[in-house]
Amino acid sequence: MELMYRWVLYIGIAVLVILPFIVLKRKKNFRDSIKAANVSYVKDDPRFKKKTIIYKLLSVFAMMCLWVAIAVSFVMISRPVEVKTVSKTLRNRDIFLCLDISDSMDELNKNICDDLKKLVKGLDGERFGITIFCGKTVVLVPLTTDYDYVLDEIDKLQKAFEQSTDYWNWYSDFDYELYEYKYAGTLSDYGSSLIGDGIAGCLFAFPDLREKTDRARIMIVSTDNEVYGEQIVSVSEATDLCKKYGVKIFALGPDYVVDEQSFKKDIEKTGGQFYRIKSKSAVQDVIDAISVTDASDTQEIQTFITDKPVLLFYILLICTGLYFIVSRKVRL
């Protein structure tokens, strides 16, 4: 245990040393005198002697309780803490999941969520994030190592995709909260399923993209490459940017992908691969490909400071309570 404000303890020691002298000086005037006349008979009485001894013992005990309470108070003000330094190994790899959430992708996205959760559960120090796009791109989960949080968000997305594909309950049991969770911020008057914009938006969600070029960066894109509207950035331009910044793209597509050969070529030029989801092992193939992507280990040192006032608080409470009880008994 350590003290955050050690100087307070030094002041407390000085106060505790001086305090007894102040108390003794105050009582000095009556220490050797008797404040009543003709008490010699009473002083010799055994019961009086017993009461006097009890009185002195209780007085000393009360003052000790007060002294300890003051001492403990100064220690608490000094803020006792437990300091732990933890060294954690982090994988020098960032992974962004980039989902096309247009209606045509609901079935595929719903089916890959369980595999994506397996991917997240298998991570060990890598940072993982999620972006979703339709007409606009939204960073749903910034890069983080809080995998429980990521899994919760994938669960919510899965429920939203399931609702979108459950046509029987579309009107009878529709959850607008899930609808808003899926579409809020992604809709645009300029079109939908803007793939190039979605990939570019995800690319620049990677922090320190220009500064830290040594990090392995991976993007998992789920899309059918079916664009409705005018893109600011084409898929070819977006993948060129990914190649420039060393971001590999692993894409998952449904049975039908618009202009598949061209799309596949754009994906592969980043160093990644394109997978058709019709293969049951497609997501596992992506996971295997990510696992062999170069990444180094970095050590992150974290210091955790935990306050430890509980035991001292109980001591203070007990001593203060005893002082008030005993001092009332002896009328201090």
- Please compute, for residue 2, the number of CA atoms within 13 A of its CA located in the half-sphere on the CB side: 8
Query: What SS3 state is found at 109?
Result: helix
Amino acid at 174: F
What is the pTM (predicted TM-score) of this model?
Answer: 0.63
- Residues 259-291: pLDDT tens digits? 999 999 999 999 999 988 876 677 788 888 877
* pLDDT score of 257: 86
**In a 3-state reduction of DSSP, which class is residue 121?**
helix
pLDDT at position 242: 95
Query: Which residues 6+ apart lie within 8 Å of 202 measured at CB?
Result: 96, 98, 131, 133, 137, 219, 221
218 in Cβ contact with 95 (< 8 Å): yes
Which DSSP letter does residue 304 get? Answer: E
Question: Going by DSSP bridges, is the β-strand pair 216-222/247-253 parallel, antiparallel, or unpaired?
Answer: parallel
Question: What pLDDT, on a 0 to 100 scale, did the predictor assign at position 48?
Answer: 78
- Residue 177's pLDDT is what? 81
- Chain-centroid distance of CA 259 in Å reads 43
pLDDT at 182: 81
Mean pLDDT of all residues in the chain?
A: 84
Where along the chain do its domains lie?
2-79+309-330, 88-300
Tell me the C-alpha distance between 215 and 213, whole Å: 6
CATH number for the domain running over 88-300 = 3.40.50.410
Residues of the chain with pLDDT under 50: none
| Rounded Cα distance, 294 and 157, in Å | 30
Cβ(195)–Cβ(131) below 8 Å: no
| pLDDT for position 295 | 61
CA distance readout (Å), 285 to 16, 126, 281, 282, 309: 71, 18, 6, 5, 52
